[in-house]
Amino acid sequence: MPDDRPYDAIIIGAGAAGMFCAALAGQRGRRILLLDHNSEPGRKILISGGGRCNFTNVGAQAENFLSANPHFAKSALGRFTPSDFIALVDKHRIAWHEKTLGQLFCDGSSRQIVAMLLDECAAGGVETAFGGSSTIEHRDGAFHVGKSSAPALVLATGGLSIPKLGATSLAYDIARRFGHKIVEPRPALVPLTLPVDQALFKELSGVSANVVASVGKGRFREAALFTHRGLSGPAILQVSSYWRHGDAVIIDFLPDLGAGWLRQAKRDHPQQTFRRVLARLLPERLAATLADQLRVEGDLGNVPDRTLEGAERQLSGWHFLPNGTEGFAKAEVTIGGISTADLSSRTMESRRVPGLFAIGEAVDVTGWLGGYNFQWAWASAYAAAQAL
Ligand code: FDA
């Protein structure tokens, strides 16, 4: 029988947050309309985690997120945890594994997560309209989207990353229209580019090493990868979220070695060259480039201790000065977005316009690499769904 009740809420954006919010609210008995301008929902989920969707991180806590208000995410993250999402994945018999650092991936395909969310939407009687766009108005206490209207509107259109998958600034535009502030959106979890004077490192394209990379408060021990344009790999993507123009990225190439290791190497292997010693610790091409840059020549036994100490200091705190990022086209997420200042951390509802909600990546809450961004999408969706 067709449902002729009025809609309780219209959700714009059928990505991770929008689909999950629609499903939960529908299952709470709300009549929900879920819209997306793409003809296929969840396109970012499909390509996420290299096609296996890193759907959560077991260690997700507010400390793993960046926001102008670092406390904002606590309430939602605390009320819908990684275990809650894992229980749903298990209910749908989707096999998964922990890859590293608490990151959970599907054994099979990201498609299973999209199918699960669509099944949950169907269980909640969610109505969907994909592949069209509509005007949005607010009058007489209701939100009018095309020919449909509802007392609540949920903005779930994500950030600006990967425009070719359908990313737009719609959530920011609407929020701004209703008087919300937008924290400047910037590409994050994105490769960094190096200027010509550091071009030497571009010759290392394809070489990676396990390092500690730092920018400001961001410090990550993971792999860094040299590319023909600059720096990439998990360690660099992580620190890119903390990076602003003018900042140095500091790399410790040998984080496991304590102070004095090079002088010790001189005593143990006085007839080895610096380059040879480095090549035992780092990929050969990287060792050669670093040795050339440090200009430590000849057998270690003939190199003054002071020179070795200087080389050691540089190897544990190499300064790269990126001149930019690879931009929204390559960024996994957008940092910044709808300011949390005028949103309820409990419900994600606007404090300015009753009935207006914002969830997921559209909000100024950005997770580290490793399943954190999906956990925020699920948790913020859950918070809003309880209030619809
Ligand atoms: P999301 O972007 O998922 O959805 C927004 C929806 O709104 C889209 O369906 C879009 O079409 C729609 N929309 C946009 N503008 C619209 C408009 N004007 N009208 C109507 N609809 C509109 N995270 C993680 O935790 N683990 C991972 O493995 C990965 N991997 C990953 C890989 C790659 C390549 C990218 C680009 C990103 C990731 N991420 C990730 C990040 C993760 O995908 C992202 O944070 C979430 O998808 C955000 O969920 P949202 O629902 O907020 O936005």
Give the predicted TM-score (pTM) of the model: 0.97
Confidence band for 2, pLDDT divided at 50, 70 and 90: low
How many domains would you assign to the chain?
Answer: 2
Average the pLDDT over 260-286 and give the result.
95
Q: For residue 298, what pLDDT is reported?
A: 87
The answer on 163 and 98 residing in a single domain is: yes
pLDDT at residue 67 is higher than 80: yes
User: Separation of 332 CA from ligand 1 center, angstroms?
Assistant: 9
- Structural domain contains residue 77: yes
Q: For residue 222, what pLDDT is reported?
A: 97
Q: How many CB atoms lie within 10 A of CB 29?
A: 10
Nearest residue to 378 via CA among 152, 54, 43:
54
Nearest residue to 364 via CA among 159, 75, 169:
159
Q: For residue 197, what pLDDT is reported?
A: 79
Q: For residue 192, what pLDDT is reported?
A: 97
Helix (H) or strand (E) holding 212: strand 208-215
| The pair of three-digit structure tokens given for residue 217, joined into one six-digit string | 């408060």
pLDDT at residue 18 is higher than 80: yes
pLDDT at residue 201 is higher than 80: no
Output the residue whose Cα is nearest ligand 1's atom 18: 170
Q: For residue 297, what pLDDT is reported?
A: 87
Output the residue whose Cα is nearest ligand 1's atom 36: 332
Q: What is the mean pLDDT of the chain?
A: 96
Confidence band for 372, pLDDT divided at 50, 70 and 90: very high
- Structural domain contains residue 269: yes
The answer on 144 and 34 residing in a single domain is: yes
The answer on 136 and 100 residing in a single domain is: yes
Average the pLDDT over 316-336 and give the result.
97
The answer on 352 and 267 residing in a single domain is: no
User: Separation of 15 CA from ligand 1 center, angstroms?
Assistant: 6
Q: How far apart are CA 56 and CA 319, in angstroms?
A: 33
The answer on 171 and 23 residing in a single domain is: yes
The pick from 34, 35, 48, 64 for probing ligand 1's pocket by mutation, whose C-beta has the most ligand atoms within 8 angstroms, reads: 48
Amino acid (1-letter code) at residue 128: T
Which of 301, 325, 349 represents a domain boundary (last residue)?
A: 325
pLDDT-wise least confident of 40-44, 81-85, 200-204, 279-283: 200-204
The answer on 173 and 52 residing in a single domain is: yes
pLDDT at residue 114 is higher than 70: yes
- Structural domain contains residue 3: no
Ligand 1 pocket, Cβ-based, cut-off 6 angstroms:
12-18, 35-38, 43-44, 47-49, 53-54, 133, 156-158, 161-162, 166-168, 170, 332-333, 360-362, 371-374, 377
The answer on 276 and 363 residing in a single domain is: no
- Structural domain contains residue 181: yes
Amino acid (1-letter code) at residue 78: G
Output the residue whose Cα is nearest ligand 1's atom 45: 373
The answer on 143 and 208 residing in a single domain is: no
From residue 294, give the alpha-carbon distance in Å to each of 38, 184, 309, 316: 52, 39, 12, 13
Output the residue whose Cα is nearest ligand 1's atom 15: 168
Q: How far apart are CA 368 and CA 373, in angstroms?
A: 7
Q: Which residue has the tokens 């200027």?
A: 195
Q: Quick one: which atom of ligand 1 is closest to the CA of 14?
A: 9
- Structural domain contains residue 37: yes
- Structural domain contains residue 275: yes
Output the residue whose Cα is nearest ligand 1's atom 4: 15
Q: Quick one: which atom of ligand 1 is closest to the CA of 42?
A: 9
Nearest residue to 177 via CA among 219, 143, 210, 147:
143
Which of 277, 294, 325 represents a domain boundary (last residue)?
A: 325
Q: For residue 149, what pLDDT is reported?
A: 96
Q: For residue 1, what pLDDT is reported?
A: 61
The answer on 240 and 112 residing in a single domain is: no
Q: How far apart are CA 129 and CA 155, in angstroms?
A: 15
Which of 325, 346, 372 represents a domain boundary (last residue)?
A: 325
The answer on 203 and 223 residing in a single domain is: yes
Q: At 153, which CATH number?
A: 3.50.50.60
Confidence band for 133, pLDDT divided at 50, 70 and 90: confident
Q: How far apart are CA 143 and CA 12, in angstroms?
A: 12
Q: What would the pLDDT profile of 19-35 be if each residue is shown by its tens digit?
A: 999 999 999 999 999 99
**Full domain range(s) for residue 81:** 9-185+336-387
Q: At 223, which CATH number?
A: 2.40.30.10
User: Separation of 337 CA from ligand 1 center, angstroms?
Assistant: 14
Q: What would the pLDDT profile of 143-180 be if each residue is shown by its tens digit?
A: 999 999 999 999 999 999 999 999 999 999 999 999 99
The answer on 228 and 296 residing in a single domain is: yes
- Structural domain contains residue 30: yes
pLDDT at residue 379 is higher than 80: yes
Q: How far apart are CA 65 and CA 24, in angstroms?
A: 24
Instruction: State the chain's maximal CA–CA distance in angstroms.
Output: 89
Cα torsion through 63, 65, 71, 76, rounded to 10: -110
Q: Quick one: which atom of ligand 1 is closest to the CA of 13?
A: 7
From residue 349, give the alpha-carbon distance in Å to each of 25, 132, 192, 283: 14, 25, 35, 51
Q: Quick one: which atom of ligand 1 is closest to the CA of 373?
A: 25
The answer on 278 and 314 residing in a single domain is: yes
- Structural domain contains residue 367: yes
